[in-house]
Structure 1
Amino acid sequence: MNGITCLNRRQRGIGLVEIMVALVIGLILLAGLFQIFQSNRTSHRISEALARVQENGRFAMMFLSRDLRMAGHIGCTRDFGLRNTLGSSNYLYDFETYLVGHRDENGTGNWQPALPSGLSNVVKGTDVVTVRAADGNTILIDPMNSATDNVVPRTVHDLAVGDTVVLSDCEMAAAFRINQIDGAGALVHGQNLGKAYRGDAELMRIATTTYFIRENVAGEPALWRRIGNNPAEELVEGVDDLFVLYGIDTNADGAADEYKPADEVVSWDDVVSLQVTLRVRSREDNVTAEPDTVSYDGAQVTDRRLRQTFTSTISIRNRLK
């Protein structure tokens, strides 16, 4: 009996060594769990940032591609003259020049060619690209009796006073502003359109659209668009660089023979395609494991944002042969 009592007494409680071993094992397990949690959290943060960056990149390229490929579109063919009653001296109405780019190579805010008036707060070191084209939503008209007749639409439309439009057929085109819409629905313009257009002519809105990079109210860079004289609108956040190379057709075969930046383009009429590169960054500044240094707004910036570049070559449909 005494032997059993002594045995039970020796097995009562846990020694200090056992407690310390258990604590060490517990700490190791907790450290492992914490490491797994941190790893999963980091992976989730990177995956979420990458998904947002890729989505923004796709949307930004979609906006640019849609408008750039339509550069110079004013009707059924490109090989006819445009009678521009608005005058080509105004940047907004220079419809004879269907495309123009601006390059700030050194990030000093000195774009070549110079930026149009009214375009402000553009991020230095980024490109600006302007395209002029009709929107493609065609409206049919009643036949005109003379070149100075008011234009009478015969299909449903949403045109308004002040809109800039182009009237075209397969022979010529005329751009004019709608000064008034009379009681019969005729578009009053007060101009000589060069000819009396037939009933098969197409009437479309035409506009100058400019794409550029600017910071929004939150201080984040974004892709912006300005249509005509309207206020610029933010399209896609996170785009911090836009770089464009212009495909030059040197032998009139409709294909690009060389690509040049905007400040090296001699004749915009020779541009048949564009190679557009966008750099898109994450909103969060704690995504990547190591910091990265990039050029932004004329300076070197170091942060831990996730960045990705997107490049697309866009052919101008109106220049294809």
Structure 2
Amino acid sequence: MKYQKGLSLIELMIALVIGLLLVAATVQMFVGSRVTYSMQNELAKVQENARFAMNFISRDLRMAGYIGCTKHLTIANTLRDTANGDAAHGEYDLSVPIAIEDNYVSASGTSIDLPSNASPSDGTDIVSIKFSDTEGACSVTDHNTSSAVMTCTGHEFVTGQVLLVSDCKKAAIVQHTGGNPNKIVHNTGNSVTPGNCTKGLGLPIVCSTLGTAEDFTGGTVMLLRNYTYYIDQNAFGVPALYRTSIGVTDKNATLNQQELVEGVENMQVLLGLDTDDDGTADCFKSSVSRCVSSGSVTVTEDNIVAIRVSLVIRSIANNVTSTPQSYVLNGVTITPTDNYLRKVFTSTVTLRNRTL
């Protein structure tokens, strides 16, 4: 019986080659699995970011123009403008519940009110949405028009908040100037900003006098919301969806901004037109698209019944794809110069209330 005493050089070389092949195959499988995992992970993040972003925008668009009861109420706005003059403050003007800045250009600025530190990305759309919120609303059991005090037991509104009161016959926008937990005070004075220019909540608004008194006993007081959506760069240089909202600082109404979802690179808005007066946007039911860019129509037209929002969501990590990936936005094919993963998500929202 002979025993193995060693390996020949040829046998050793064959064993090394076989081992190298096995290692190479294992490394290839690992690299392939890692690339696939990275792609799937970034795709999941893109889809999740899109879901959150679209949920925020769609929910607010559906509420745009809501003032309680019928949408045809007349609204008296007693708020002063930024210079404390007699004009209604634009940030709280519900006569235009939706305002759209089409393809924003920083050099030209925007007519939509934004915080001073906001820097929207050029070429993206900006959407401002205003409505009254029923959450936290209270019922007016008594209204002393001469002292500008409404009894609204148990309310949680704070001094400086901008409110809307409605009784299904009329409505008014006021700023809460008092601190009693059971009272809503809409007096004049400089204790809050922008402040009320008159006690009277009836039309026409006359700021140089006490105005026209209107009794809102039996009405409802709601918080006025103003949300503006736009694309900006966050602190890490990543494009993100931002939203401004009305806040209160030292009893003064202010616009605050908040980053909602990172990775949102572009937002484009199309308006759905109802040209045959059937209540449905023609561009959504015709084989030939009749949606138009918001910049090509007058935004006060009554035949705008829906809004289509398209978001370009980008991966946070670069080099997710091996080559630049083209995508289609509003019928235009765009080919980037980097290797970020991008997807376009689109949602159509029917406008329920008075809108543009």
Measured against the shorter chain, the TM-score band is 0.7 to 0.9
Structure 2: state its 5+ residue gaps. 81-86, 189-198, 203-213, 247-253, 283-289, 329-333
Match of residue 307 from structure 2 = 274
For residue 162 of structure 1, what is the aligned residue in structure 2?
Answer: 160
Tell me the distance in 2 between the aligned counterparts of 1:143 and 1:269.
Answer: 39
Once the two structures are superposed, residues 26-61 of structure 1 have per-residue CA deviations (whole angstroms, 9 ceiling, x without a partner) of 111111101110111111111111111111110001
Match of 1:198 in 2: 217
How far, CA to CA, are the matches of 2:36 and 2:259 in structure 1?
30
Distance in 2, Cα, partners of 1:188 & 1:234: 32
Whether the aligned pair in 1 keeps the contact of 2:268 and 2:310 (CA below 8 Å) is: yes
Rounded to whole Å, the distance in 1 between the matches of 2:21 and 2:181 is 85
Matches within 5 A, 1:156-305: 156-182=154-180, 185-190=183-188, 191-194=199-202, 195-199=214-218, 201-228=219-246, 229-257=254-282, 258-270=290-302, 271-292=304-325, 301-305=336-340
Per-residue deviation, 1:230:
2.4
Structure 1, residues 218-249: CA drift from partner, whole Å, max 9, x if none?
11111000013322110011111111111233
For 1:243 and 1:152, locate their aligned partners in 2 and report how far apart those are by CA, in whole Å.
Answer: 44
- Hey, what's the Cα distance between the residues in 2 that align with 1:186 and 1:79? 25
Specify the SS of the correspondent of 2:241: strand
Q: Secondary structure at the match of 1:272?
A: strand
Distance 2:70 2:259 in 1: 33
For residues 52 and 108 of structure 2, the distance between their equivalents in structure 1, rounded to whole angstroms, comes to: 26
Of residues 11, 32, 46, the one that matches 2:39 is 46
Report the counterpart of residue 314 of structure 1 in structure 2.
349
* Partner SS for 1:92: helix
State the one-letter code of the partner of 1:75: G
- Give 1:182 deviation, angstroms: 4.5
Deviation per CA, 1:184-232: give whole Å up to 9, x if none.
6342334211221232x11101132100001111111110000133221
Counterparts of 1:94 and 1:187, CA distance in 2: 20
Query: Secondary structure at 1:30's aligned position in 2?
Result: helix
Gap change, CA 1:188 and 1:109, over 3 Å in 2 = closer
Please identify which structure carries the higher helix content.
1
Structure 1, gaps ≥5 residues long: none
Residue identity matched to 1:46: M
Q: Residues 77 and 183 of structure 1: is their aligned pair in 2 closer, same or farther, counting only changes over 3 Å?
A: closer
* TM-score of the aligned structures, taking structure 2 as reference length: 0.78
Distance in 2 of aligned mates of 1:182 and 1:139: 14
Going from structure 1 to structure 2, the CA distance change for 1:147 and 1:64 (only over 3 Å counts) comes to farther
Tell me, in whole angstroms, the C-alpha distance in 2 between the residues paired with 1:305 and 1:244: 23
TM-score (norm 1): 0.86
- Asked if the contact 1:99/1:129 (under 8 Å) is kept, the reply is yes
> Taking every aligned residue pair, what percent have the same amino acid on both sides?
35
3-state SS of 1:302 partner: coil
* Structure 1 residue 114 displacement after superposition: 4.0
Structure 1 residues 273 and 36, CA, compared in 2 at 3 Å: closer, same or farther?
same
